[in-house]
Amino acid sequence: MTNSPQEDEIRLAAPHTRRRFLTVSGAAIALAFGTNLAGRTTAFADAMKLKSDPFTLGVASGDPLPTAVVLWTRLAPEIFDPMGGMPAKNVQVHWQVATDEHFKRVVRSGTATAAPEYRHSVHVDAGGLEPGREYFYRFRTGNAISPVGRTRTAPDPRKQLSKLRFGIASCQAYPDGYYTAYQHLIEEDLDVLFFLGDYIYENAVNTVGGDRFDTSANVPDIFQTSPTTLDQYRLFYSLYKSDPDLRAGHAALPWIATWDDHEVVDNYSGQVKGTIPVEDFLVQRANAYRAYWEHMPLRSQQMPAGPDAQLYRRFDFGDLMQVSVLDTRQYRNASPRTITGAAQMNWLLDGLSQSRARWNLIANQVMMSEIRTTLTNPPGLYTDAWDGYPEDRKRLFDGVVERGVQGLFVVTGDTHTNYAADMKQNFDDMNSKTLGVEFTGTSISSGRDGYDTNPQLDLQLQANPHIKFENGRRGYVTFDLDRDRVRADYRVMPYVTRRGAPIATQASFVSERAEPGLKAV
Ligand SMILES: [Fe+2]
């Protein structure tokens, strides 16, 4: 059997391990996850010969540590070409970090190799920086210089931090509307943005970009098919990043991103998507994970090995906030039913119990709090979220109580709806302990223009006394954290299918560290 170009490519670039895939049969798996690095080219292309701007997909930074941050770009002079318009050769890319946006005071610089097997993406882990300060960065290859990005390192964990301001965003289906939200978000002066999943959607996009209905868009026919191969997934990232507002969002501040389902395919669970044979689905998952890593500001520790990638990880923001970023997709399993997998749950509980931070944030994909979708008994539940995995929720909540975890709050994506919820130890008993609060952010664009409320949201407010707010408009949520209090502002727009929507605060809530529970402001 001959390999497709995608299989060859993923075989050449698969870092090192076959792990549990030895248990999965099928020639495709053996080909896709082999370890042979032979044949990797060492030739360098002459970057001077690039005919047009290679920085079409912008720049990004992410995963800030106290002294380091990841800087990202990808060379793609022709964004809808599978090779990005680049030769199949390594290219050298120079990078600089400065304390001013005019690069008068360059504090770090270096050279990275953009390799064709990673589609000339560049992931620089720029170290030696000072904690809690603003930096500017840019890239150069040949005569081409990238746009300037702004980033910020995490504060010194040994020092007392009095406040932090951050945001959450999720769910940006390209054909559902414009990314106007980012125009507003970059004016918010946030320290960091958490992106909570559905960066791309696998849904086809038509010539006019769906409900964007942009007759000048000329979206190529290749996007009228849902992606399954590596090159197809890559092209979807190119399409999404062709949006200038998204590029501006990345260039303005560091992101800490995790994925949900649509980066692969709707509502998949671990190794399972409908009736697709597991060995075939894992090849698709490997392609999707690989394309995600190539296009996001992530460290090499997050680089997939075949269909596995370590995306759950932890960050500290001074002594004020510890963040556990979850991956509730990759390890889902039907038997025993788990949404996190045992290893991730242990890691989460260990981190919460060892935390010395005032606040403990869980950056999460799908609603953790119960949402009854009917007034019946038993109630209807949305089983793709934590409601489908009550054993894991109990494990987490019991662990939080046993360990006396303080300052717990959760931020969530997925639903294309804003929710604010008290997390009750027992959702059937409003007198039970409130363990923390959950702020679920609406979508950037998914679901088109949205609505303030509808009969289903009204019913849910009635059926769920622990839920204090619901709203179906598009936007994001900002947070102001101090030593004793978290404040959330739900920022929404009246439309996204046209450009230029204004933004306004629909609702604001606070919760006290000493006595968790939502209070409207
Ligand atoms: Fe979504």
Neighbours of 462 (CB within 10 A): 11
Backbone angles phi, psi at 459, to 5 degrees: -65, -40
Neighbours of 493 (CB within 10 A): 26
8-22, 69-83, 128-142, 332-346: range with lowest mean pLDDT: 8-22
- Using the mean position of ligand 1's atoms as its centre, give its distance from the Cα of residue 178 in Å: 15
Inform me whether the pLDDT recorded for 14 exceeds 90: no
Reading the block at residue 494, the tokens are 């009246």
- Using the mean position of ligand 1's atoms as its centre, give its distance from the Cα of residue 474 in Å: 12
Report the run of H or E that residue 485 belongs to, with start and end.
strand 485-493
Angle, helices 244-252 vs 230-241, to 10°: value is 80
SS3 (DSSP) at 44: strand
- Using the mean position of ligand 1's atoms as its centre, give its distance from the Cα of residue 514 in Å: 33
pLDDT digits 0-9 by tens, 448-476:
999 999 999 999 999 999 999 999 999 99
Average pLDDT, the chain: 92
Unique residue bearing structure tokens 């702020």: 439
Q: What is the pLDDT of residue 51?
A: 74
Report the run of H or E that residue 145 belongs to, with start and end.
strand 144-145
Backbone angles phi, psi at 496, to 5 degrees: -135, -10
β-pairing verdict for 519-520 and 504-512? antiparallel
- Using the mean position of ligand 1's atoms as its centre, give its distance from the Cα of residue 167 in Å: 17
pLDDT digits 0-9 by tens, 271-302:
999 999 999 999 999 999 999 999 999 999 99
Q: What is the pLDDT of residue 175?
A: 98
Q: What is the pLDDT of residue 207?
A: 97
Sort 389 into a burial class: Cβ within 10 Å, 0-12 / 13-18 / 19+: buried
- Using the mean position of ligand 1's atoms as its centre, give its distance from the Cα of residue 99 in Å: 36
The residue-averaged pLDDT of 402-424 equals 98
Its pTM stands at 0.93
- Using the mean position of ligand 1's atoms as its centre, give its distance from the Cα of residue 414 in Å: 5
The CA dihedral of 211, 215, 217, 219, to the nearest 10 degrees, is 70
The CA dihedral of 242, 245, 251, 256, to the nearest 10 degrees, is -90
Contact 235, 80 (CB under 8 A): yes
Give first-to-last CA distance, the chain, whole Å.
65
Inform me whether the pLDDT recorded for 20 exceeds 60: no
Inform me whether the pLDDT recorded for 28 exceeds 90: no
Inform me whether the pLDDT recorded for 336 exceeds 80: no
CA distance 457 to 462: 9
- Using the mean position of ligand 1's atoms as its centre, give its distance from the Cα of residue 56 in Å: 26
SS3 (DSSP) at 468: strand
Q: What is the pLDDT of residue 81?
A: 97
Inform me whether the pLDDT recorded for 22 exceeds 80: no
Share of the chain above pLDDT 70, in %: 90
Q: What is the pLDDT of residue 43?
A: 58
Inform me whether the pLDDT recorded for 33 exceeds 50: no
Q: What is the pLDDT of residue 44?
A: 66
CA distance 478 to 421: 16
Inform me whether the pLDDT recorded for 92 exceeds 60: yes
The residue-averaged pLDDT of 378-407 equals 96
Backbone angles phi, psi at 118, to 5 degrees: -110, 25
336 vs 281 pLDDT, higher one: 281
pLDDT digits 0-9 by tens, 147-200:
999 999 999 999 999 999 999 999 999 999 999 999 999 999 999 999 999 999
The CA dihedral of 348, 354, 359, 362, to the nearest 10 degrees, is -10
pLDDT digits 0-9 by tens, 296-324:
999 999 999 999 999 999 999 999 999 99
Neighbours of 427 (CB within 10 A): 23
The residue-averaged pLDDT of 492-516 equals 98
- Using the mean position of ligand 1's atoms as its centre, give its distance from the Cα of residue 72 in Å: 24
SS3 (DSSP) at 279: helix
- Using the mean position of ligand 1's atoms as its centre, give its distance from the Cα of residue 71 in Å: 26
- Using the mean position of ligand 1's atoms as its centre, give its distance from the Cα of residue 391 in Å: 24
- 21 confidence band (pLDDT: 50, 70, 90): very low
Q: CB-based contacts of 376: which residues, under 8 Å, 6+ apart? A: none
- Using the mean position of ligand 1's atoms as its centre, give its distance from the Cα of residue 423 in Å: 22
- Using the mean position of ligand 1's atoms as its centre, give its distance from the Cα of residue 216 in Å: 26
- Using the mean position of ligand 1's atoms as its centre, give its distance from the Cα of residue 137 in Å: 31
Inform me whether the pLDDT recorded for 239 exceeds 60: yes
